[in-house]
Structures are given as structure tokens and as C-alpha cells.
Amino acid sequence: MFAKEKTIMEEDRVRFICKRTVVSTRSIEPGRLYQLSVLDHVMEPNHIRLVYYYRCSKTREPGEITKKLRESLAYTLNCYPIVTGRLVKEVDGMEENKDLSQRWMVKSNDAGVRMVEARATGSVKEWLRSVNREEELKLVHWEDMYHLQYYWSTFCVQVTEFESGGLAIGLSCSHLLADPVCAMMFIRAWADLTLSRSMMAPPLFHPLPPRRFSNQRLISNNQLLSHYIKSCSSTAPLSNVTEDHMATVTFLFPDPLVRAGENEPRISTFEILAGLFWVCVSRAKGKRNELMDMSLCLDVRKLLRLDQSYFGNCMVYHKVPYSKPVKTKDKLLFHAVQEIENITKRLDYDTVMDLIEWLSSNNGAISNGSDLVCTNLENMSHSRAMMFEEDLALSHVSCYVEGPVAGGGQVIVLPSPPGKEPMSRVVMASLPQREMVKVIADELLLSFSPVVIIENTKQL
């Protein structure tokens, strides 16, 4: 059956069937312009890729589920005019800050999103046992911006059916329009509408909080702002990890808080895991009783009093200050967690608003150089399972953030997988090959009894 279908390209285990454009089913207000926020603009050179794996409990005809998802996607897009629009340059005629007056905005024209349909050999279960990073990225189509950006789709969807059962849904998007929280909420909205024909949490499109009347904070006292001032400058160092092949390994940590001996409610699972990888990656780089540079990527919707359904970038990068070596390695993890906790607990509304107000009069895109970047997505868990069909069970989620913001390596903390203990966490680590080999053998990491879910490299 599959061999008779016309393919665009055939390579390895994935066959690409076709590429379409999916538009909304409802007419939209043509020509409406959507302003992007300053937190959007600072993320311009980056993009996001998500892959959702589903096991299937019943046999389906090839293309059957893809057709249904394509139809429900069109209905989902009715609530996402920014997703189906196209980028244009904003020209506001202002004499001052002329560089800022040429920023991107979205013109609503219902040009739609790209959708790729594909087939893969084997089953989802078999795929997850043997997939590598390069193969996994074939499940989530991405196109760099065209010379004529008005024809470029900022969002791409890929549906891959596995011949022996299962499904992979890939979503890629420009970080200019959305952060990982937005991208995941889009998938959930699509799933809800497909399963129940209703969208439980539709997106909210509105500006960030307005400027405050007065601001008496000193820039030197705001570490978040200081990091952006330095990293958005033209002299910010770029990562040099291209010299070494990137390896991605996904771990399941059964209960990090118990393993760390922490029973204080003030310590979060993310803080423990971020500290753990901060220490292990630092060791892999040859550091003894000191730590490498690291930045945290944190969602600030709650701090800004915004709903989780707010659509747009609302995650910030905060460098973790570290200056003095620790005398004994036994104290290093405790010290790392303490430094991280100081950041997460002190981050507040005014700190973030200082950054937003500074970005409103300054241009540039953030780069995390060679920092290790730890991203907190552990709060993306939900009481309702993310189901497109009753017979499709979510098996695994992969998340990639690509571009200068990714730094010299990434650690993404995700919620507990379906069917696992609520305090467990999935950690997706992407590091240079030579460092990853050392990290997965580190005795401190092994003391947390992690289970390797996916080893996305053939060389490890």
C-alpha cells in the first residue's frame, strides 16, 4: 500500500509523501496587523521543534488519521490568525529609534501553515529504541526564511504514520512568534478540538503589561537585565559547539527530590535537576570544584499576571552568577542548587518589567554564547491527557530549541511522562559529543538512578 504512494523524497526510515498548505475554515479579517512584543523580537534568529509520539491500539488504513488531523487542524487555525499570517516589516514613521521602527509584525491574510505528510518504517516503540538525533529531526519539518518572507510559513506541522503502528506529530515554528509553552499549548488545543470538538484553552492575544509610571531601579542591581544588555550587544560571544557533533540523550528521573535527600518544599525538582546537570557538565569540561557559565530559561507568565494561554514569548534567560570555587566536591551540588534557587525565588514582576522597558528602546537578539542553558518546562503537565483519538496514547515528547539562544548545550526539564509517578521528570540533554560521553558516566548523575529513554546518537 505504502509503495504505491508518490513520494517527494525517500531516505532512511522516513518517506515524505507530500507537502500541503492548510488554511482555516473560517474567513478572517484580511490585512489586520498584529504587533509583536519586545520579548518576541529578541528571539528572532531562533526556532523551536517539538515531536509528540503516540502509540495506537487499533489498526488503521494508511492516511486515515492524517486526513482527520489535517481537517481538525484547519478548524484549530480559526483561533490562531497570527499562525496563519505572514511576516511584514513595521514602518511607523518615527524619526527617533529608526532601527526599532523596522521590526517584524504579522499581517493577517490566512495564508495558512505548511503541513508535511510522511510514513516511517516499524512502530513507534521500535523507533524510540533506536532513533538518533538526525533521524528524529526528520519527523519535524522546518524551513528557513525565504528571501521573500511574505511567502514563508512561520509554523510547520508534520504528521508521520508508522507502518507497524503509531504516530508522530511534529511542530516547528519561529521563536519570533512563540516560545515552547505556546507551541505546546497549540498542540494541546489541536488535540482537544480533534477529540472533543471543543477547545478547552483557546489562545489569548494581547500586549504585555504596560510601562510603569516610574522606575527607580538601578540597572546594575538587576541581574536579569544585565545579562540581556551584555548578550544582546554585537560583541556577545557565539557558541563554538559546531566543532563537535551534538548528541541528545533523554533521561527519566524517578524522583529527583528523594534522591537528592531534599524534603524542603522550597526546593523544586527543576532546581535539583538543573543543579545536577550544571555540576556534571562542568566536570565534563574539566572543571574540578567550580562551575561553568549557565543560564536558566524561565516562564514568567505567572509573574506578569498572565494566563498560561497567553500567546507570545514570555520566557526569559537569566544567567546564574557564580564566582567562588567550592573546597569539596561533595558540597558542589548543594552550592549549585542554592545559587539556582536564589534566582528562581528572587525573580519578580519589577525585575522582568525592567527588562521589558529596556528592550522597548533597544534592539538586538539574545545569544547565550557558550553557556549551558537549562529550560524549565516541568509545569506543562496537565490533569487531562493530551489525546487526539481515544486509541492514541501519548508515549513521549521531544523538544528542541535551535539558534544562538541555545548556547553551548541545553538541558530541558519536562513533566513526568504518562503513567509515571507525578514527581518524576524527563530531562532532554543536548551536549557536544565528547561531553555527553562523560556526563552519562558521571557518578553523581548515576546516583540519581536515571533511566535512559532515548539515546539520540549512534556513537555513544
Tell me the three state secondary structure of residue 398.
strand
**pLDDT bracket for residue 421 (50, 70, 90):** confident
Q: What percent of the chain has pLDDT over 90?
A: 61
> Out of 11-25, 84-98, 328-342, which region has the weakest mean confidence (pLDDT)?
84-98
- Of the listed ranges 55-59, 75-79, 238-242, 372-376, the least confidently predicted one is 238-242
Q: Give the chain's mean pLDDT.
A: 86
Domain borders along the chain are: 14-93+100-196, 223-235+244-378+404-454
Q: Which CATH class is domain 223-235+244-378+404-454?
A: alpha beta
Structure confidence at residue 243 (pLDDT) = 45
Position 221 pLDDT exceeds 90:
no
Listed range (113-122, 160-169, 262-271) with the worst mean pLDDT: 262-271
Q: Comparing 102-111, 218-227, 253-262, 331-340, which segment has the lowest mean pLDDT?
A: 253-262
Q: How far is CA 310 from the centre of its chain?
A: 16
If pLDDT is split at 50, 70 and 90, which confidence band does 10 have?
very low
Residue range 14-93+100-196, CATH number = 3.30.559.10
pLDDT top residue among 429 and 423: 429
Higher pLDDT, 419 or 320: 320
pLDDT score for 420: 77
Residue 189 in grid coordinates: 488545543
Site of grid cell 572543571: 287
Question: In the structure, what pLDDT confidence band is assigned to residue 1 with cuts at 50, 70 and 90?
Answer: very low
For residue 422, pLDDT beyond 90 = no
Give the pLDDT band of residue 6 (cuts 50, 70, 90).
Answer: very low
Q: How confident is the model at residue 236 (pLDDT cuts 50, 70, 90)?
A: very low
pLDDT by residue (tens digit) across 264-274?
667 889 999 99
* Banded pLDDT at 330 (limits 50, 70, 90): low
Most confident of 25-34, 47-56, 82-91: 47-56
> pLDDT tens digit string along 275-298?
999 999 999 999 888 899 999 999
Average pLDDT on 105-110 reads 90
Mean per-residue pLDDT, 68-74: 96
pLDDT at 119 over 80: yes
Tell me the mean pLDDT in the region 54-63: 88
Checking if the pLDDT of 40 tops 70, the result is yes
What is the Cα–Cα distance from 441 to 390, expressed in whole angstroms? 40
pLDDT of residue 218: 52
Query: How far from each other are the two terminal CA atoms of the chain, in whole angstroms?
Result: 36
What's residue 5's pLDDT? 37
Residues 6+ apart with CB under 8 A from 71: none
Q: What is the pLDDT of residue 242?
A: 47
Task: Check pLDDT > 70 for residue 261.
Answer: no
Report residue 246 as a C-alpha cell. Answer: 551534538
The closest of 221, 222, 226, 189 to 204, measured between CA atoms, is 189
178-216 pLDDT per residue, tens? 999 999 999 999 999 999 888 988 999 999 998 877 655
Question: pLDDT-based confidence at 95, cuts 50/70/90?
Answer: very low
Domains 14-93+100-196 and 223-235+244-378+404-454 share a fold: yes
Q: Is the distance from CB of 214 to CB of 346 less than 8 angstroms?
A: no
What percentage of the chain reaches a pLDDT higher than 70?
86
Please, is 144 exposed, middle or buried when counting C-beta atoms within 10 Å of its C-beta (0-12, 13-18, 19+)? exposed
Listed residue (103, 432, 433, 106) closest to 241, CA to CA:
432
